[in-house]
């Protein structure tokens, strides 16, 4: 049951110019529950968002517009290159130097 799915995943990555396939481009996602018959090959990107479903969000969307970003969404970090940090050794701390 799993062998045809694995072969189909590799064949999708073969191009007309090269028969070499980087197996790191294939990802196996394991889920708890279900059976082997529930296994399927997904062509594209799988977004695993259990939090949205737990909060009462939709479980399926049609014609969704999705953005995949390759950078972190976080607050900007302070610029520490402009600040002078004093470096004290333990002997300077005790002697006051």
pTM over 0.75: no
Closest CA to 23 of 32, 14, 31: 14
Closest CA to 47 of 64, 34, 33: 64
In eight-state DSSP terms, residue 86 is P
Q: Which residues contact 1 (CB under 8 A, 6 or more apart)?
A: 36, 37, 39
- Span 13-71, pLDDT tens digits: 888 888 888 888 888 888 788 888 888 898 877 766 666 666 777 777 788 887 776 66
């Amino acid at each position: 049951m799993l062998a045809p799915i694995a072969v189909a995943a590799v064949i999708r990555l073969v191009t007309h110019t090269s028969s070499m396939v980087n197996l790191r481009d294939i990802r196996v996602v394991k889920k708890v529950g279900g059976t082997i018959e529930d296994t399927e090959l997904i062509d594209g990107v799988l977004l695993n968002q259990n939090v949205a479903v737990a909060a009462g969000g939709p479980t399926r969307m049609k014609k969704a517009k999705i953005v995949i970003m390759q950078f972190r969404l976080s607050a900007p970090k302070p610029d520490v290159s402009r600040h002078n940090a004093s470096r004290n050794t333990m002997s300077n701390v005790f002697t006051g130097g």
